[in-house]
Structure 1
C-alpha cells in the first residue's frame, strides 16, 4: 500500500490518541513506516471481539453467582486468559485447574493455592473468594 493511501479512519485507537505503526511504500516504491489512526474493518473486528469478551465475562459472573462455577472462571475471563495460559501462570496441570472450577473443590483450596491464583490475577485472596456482585 502506498504511504499516502494508508487509512486514517476513526477507531478505538483514536480515543487514547494512539497511532498504529504500519509499513507502506513511498513514492520510490521503497518500504517505509507510517502511522495510522485506524482502518474501519479492523475497528469493527476489534469492537466485535471486545463485545464477545464482555459477554463471556458477564456469563462467567452469572455462573459464579448461581454457584455453577468458582470465581476462578470469572477472573480467568476478566484477565483474558484460557485454561492453558492460567495453568501456566499458576504452575499446575490443566486438569487440576479445571477441577478448581468446581465450587465445592474451590471452597476447600488452601491459602497457598489460592495465593497462586490471586497472584496470577493480580488481586488479593479476599477478592478472589468474594467477587463483587453489582
Structure 2
C-alpha cells in the first residue's frame, strides 16, 4: 500500500487519541511506516470485540447480583483479565482464585487476601467487599 492510500476512517482509535502504525511503501517502493486512525474493516472488528466484552461484563454483574459468582469475577471481566492473569497478579494458584470466585468462599476471605485482589483491580477492599452487582 502506498502512503497516500492509507485508510483514515473514523474508529475507536481516534476517540482514544491513538493511531495505528502500518507498513507502507514510499515513492521509491521502500517499506516504511505511517500512522492511520483506522479503517472500516478493523473498526467493525473492534466494535464487535468491545460489544462482546461489554456483554461479558454485564453477565458477570448479573451473576454477582444473583449470587452465582463472587465480585472477583465482575472485576476480573471489567479489567479484561482471565484466571491466569489474575492469579499471577495476586500471587496465588489459579485453582485458588477459582475457589475465591465462589460466593460462599469469597465471604470467608480475610482483608489481607481481599487487599491483593483489590490492589490488582485498582479499587479499595471496601469496594470489593460491598459490590453486589445491583448498582
Q: TM-score range by the shorter chain?
A: over 0.9
The count of corresponding residues between Structure 1 and Structure 2 is 134
**2:21 corresponds to 1:21:** yes
Aligned equivalents of 1:17, 1:96: Cα separation in 2: 39
Paired residue secondary structure (1:89) = helix
The aligned residue for residue 133 of structure 1 is 134
Displacement of 1:16? 3.7
What TM-score do the two structures reach when normalised by structure 1? Answer: 0.95
| CA deviations over 1:47-69 (Å, ceiling 9, x no partner) | 10000000000000000011010
| CA deviations over 1:52-111 (Å, ceiling 9, x no partner) | 000000000000011010000000000000010000000000000000011110000011
What TM-score do the two structures reach when normalised by structure 2? Answer: 0.95
Unaligned runs of 5+ in 2: none
Structure 1, 16-25 or 124-133: larger mean CA deviation: 16-25
Aligned-pair RMSD on alpha carbons? 1.1
Unaligned runs of 5+ in 1: none
